[in-house]
A and B are shown apart, each in its own frame.
Chain A
């Protein structure tokens, strides 16, 4: 047996060193490639999303002024926020405080009791963490503050500001959209004639521009000249201006918003309903479950995970509502239908960018905490209930 020539017996260490070097470079490239390839896209998203956030945050602490050749931004600290929350715009944003009856205080007490109980439950659970506890305390304080504000401004002698008006549209609108969307979804899971046709029809409102819907409802609520005026007149409402009264104007905005966004709830919930296992339903039927029991124990638990997600999405979206009140009522009568976004838009329109940015950030804070309360106190419990 011939020995291998030494030339063939290439020095192992050198080869190994080269191989190790090659493979470590290669593995670094492999490891880093995914970050390097995705970096441009992330950078663009960061620039488009984070940069405006930071600029508008700085603007909220500044006074903006157009001058020849461009603009001037002067730092003024918290003055914009002071004006909105404690100064001449306080009534506009927070509302006018009225008197709260005893029942109101009792309700508030019950609400705070519930919030504290939920906090206590968390504090005594296995999931307890320092950060989680602090965030939940902040959420409780925040929710308590909003509830107190609602109580003070919605009672006798009180007038809601743009903050409470926004919350009315958010919670009232989303609740109605969810119930209607679920109802329509349940209807279309039945074997009804024309269900495919109605599935398309129910989606149409979502395709229409909000401004168009605003004008549509403006015409429909016109008791004298609109297409429904014979109906209004026959009902004796010819002299009634729906958009001229605070409560009915808000109702008109909620109805218009609900008409537009119920299809969104509907289509997602329909998909969830159609995904429920037929075997489970058949088994329940065999076991003698009636429709209510079917809904309570089979359908609802299966739909809740999707429901909480779609409610959260709509909640966050609803905080930005502007089209409907802007077109339908201009924020009126008075400020009865003016939302925070509409108020910020009016400020922007008059060149008051600093105050407008401060309002936008206040809205961001409110929306973030409402979402946190929903996720931490409501969504988790609903999901646990389905297990």
Chain B
């Protein structure tokens, strides 16, 4: 009897300690969160892939819910404003933080980050810490991705043509024109000089800003490209933006016949199928080029977005030639203005949920952003995540392990760093309801211009009219304050 009692007691104590031990191992066992992001497959893929890993470590289940990119902004806003609270966490455009943080929908993550050594916050590039993560001196988002536009070129095609990677947009057109029709992948069919995704209601409206940026900004990041800093009148009804529209339209002549109805998923497919000599895209193309099945592995070069030898005199709206005073950051007479388009996908936590669930949501976003996961994800093109940590630029191991040659990795990362460290880097718009300015109005007008419904002058003027309406509606002074505050963000690592 004594023996059986002792055995029973022993087993009971053992069970108790096992429960305590496993609870400590899996601190969020039994908890579940829903994270909302766009349908992807980029961005959603790594989030879905890491969810089971996180659950194995912590016990918490993470459900990734997706909606089309055009619906993401409104879905989050409606969910939080109405108190529906279907989602505990989000991965969205950092530009939208201003619309969610001001009404109090987003959790202030500053104390979480300060207590989180595993996140290695200082390893996140300074620009991404400031633009993608912070608003009003508080951390509201965890960067998962770093975004810059770049031009990619087929090294073999340009070599055959005896041409250099384009330094200006005029050179871009010249290369595209010369390369258009050449068979670049050996299938006997002529291919395209330039592939740029121009479909409406997708992500196309950012390209025009990369083309226009070097015509509009030359005095450094704090000058901005969207509005006059004093009057907040949009900077589109001028020779520079009109020239940019014409360049942008001309690229269509050297692209696929259905370029007006294809998105980045299609142009990236065309690139890896070896059908394009040039493309304008975020960092994804660099990693996709070395992925399995790519026909352009070892044949893809990356370069900072082309610049301009003239910029707009804001007083007159006319283009004037670059001089050392007018373009102090010009390189060999060319004013580059690389565009930190979109900023980079970032993760946020709802402020209106249970504190324990906030902890879980933050822990998951931190997990995805930590170097162990992030440094691998940014080397895989299909993830949609591009480099944003200092270690991702300095340490080539993960790049080499995922298919890059040292030369390709160096070329790719150098192009991004050249953009990131450029003193004339351009910030994306981050005023309240910036989604209306860009995703609605600019997208629609650009689409109508490309379809020959508007001339370049009409398009430029209509952007002014419609953006001014939004500015008046939301309050010019408030918008100006928000705009100029954003321009104070500094670049670099």
A contact set with B: CB distance below 8 Å: 63, 66-71, 83, 88, 92, 96, 159, 222-224, 239-241, 243-244, 246, 329-336, 346-352
Contact = CB atoms under 8 A, between A and B. Distances in A.
A334 B103 CA distance: 35
Interface size range on B against A: 35 or more
A-B pairs, 8 with minimum CB distance: A334-B451, A241-B258, A68-B103, A333-B451, A241-B257, A330-B201, A334-B448, A66-B81
A109 B73 CA distance: 49
Interface string B245-279: 00000000000111111000000000000000000
A331 B200 CA distance: 8
A220 B285 CA distance: 27
Contacts of B469: 83, 88
Interface of B: 70-71, 73-74, 77-78, 81-83, 102-105, 199-202, 256-261, 433, 435-436, 439-440, 444, 447-453, 462, 465-466, 469, 473
Contacts of B74: 348-351
Given A332-B200, A350-B73, A351-B433, A244 B447 contact: no
B104 A68 contact: yes
A52 B465 CA distance: 32
Contact of B260 (A70, A88, A244, A352): A244
A88 B261 contact: no
A246 B451 contact: yes
B451 A66 contact: no
24 contacts: A69-B83, A69-B103, A71-B82, A92-B444, A159-B453, A222-B258, A241-B256, A241-B258, A243-B258, A244-B259, A244-B260, A246-B451, A331-B447, A332-B199, A333-B260, A333-B261, A334-B200, A335-B448, A336-B451, A349-B71, A349-B440, A350-B74, A350-B439, A350-B440
Contact of A71 (B81, B201, B436, B466): B81
B102, B444, B465: residue with the most chain A Cβ atoms closer than 10 Å: B444
A88 B201 contact: no
Contacts of B77: 66, 351
Name A's interface SS.
loop
A71 B473 CA distance: 16
Contacts of B105: 68
A244 B70 contact: no
Contacts, number: 112
Nearest to B436: A350
B73 to A, nearest CB: 7
Contacts of B450: 333-334
Contact of B465 (A68, A88, A240, A346): A88
Given A88-B462, A224-B256, A241-B258, 10 more contacts: A70-B81, A88-B466, A239-B257, A241-B259, A330-B261, A331-B201, A332-B451, A334-B453, A347-B440, A351-B74
Nearest to A222: B258
Name B's interface SS.
helix
Given A70-B81, A351-B436, A352-B436, A63 B473 contact: yes
Nearest to B104: A68
B183 to A, nearest CB: 14
Nearest to B74: A349
B455 to A, nearest CB: 12
Contacts of B448: 334-335
Given A96-B453, A330-B261, A335 B447 contact: yes
Given A66-B77, A350-B439, A240 B82 contact: no
A363 B337 CA distance: 45
A348 B77 CA distance: 12
A335 B453 contact: yes
A335 B446 CA distance: 11
A25 to B, nearest CB: 48
Contacts of A159: 453
A330 B465 contact: no
A332 B103 contact: no
A69 B201 CA distance: 30
Nearest to B102: A68
Contacts of A336: 451, 453
Contact of A241 (B261, B433, B439, B465): B261
Contacts of B453: 96, 159, 334-336
A347 B199 CA distance: 18
B81 A330 contact: no
A243 B105 CA distance: 40
A244 B81 contact: no
A83, A224, A240: residue with the most chain B Cβ atoms closer than 10 Å: A224
A243 B259 CA distance: 10
Contact of A244 (B83, B258, B436, B462): B258
A332 B258 CA distance: 12
Nearest to A326: B201
A223 B260 CA distance: 14
A336 B451 CA distance: 9
A361 B447 CA distance: 26
A115 to B, nearest CB: 31
B257 A223 contact: yes
Contacts of A70: 81-83
Contacts of A346: 201, 440, 444
Contacts of B447: 331-335
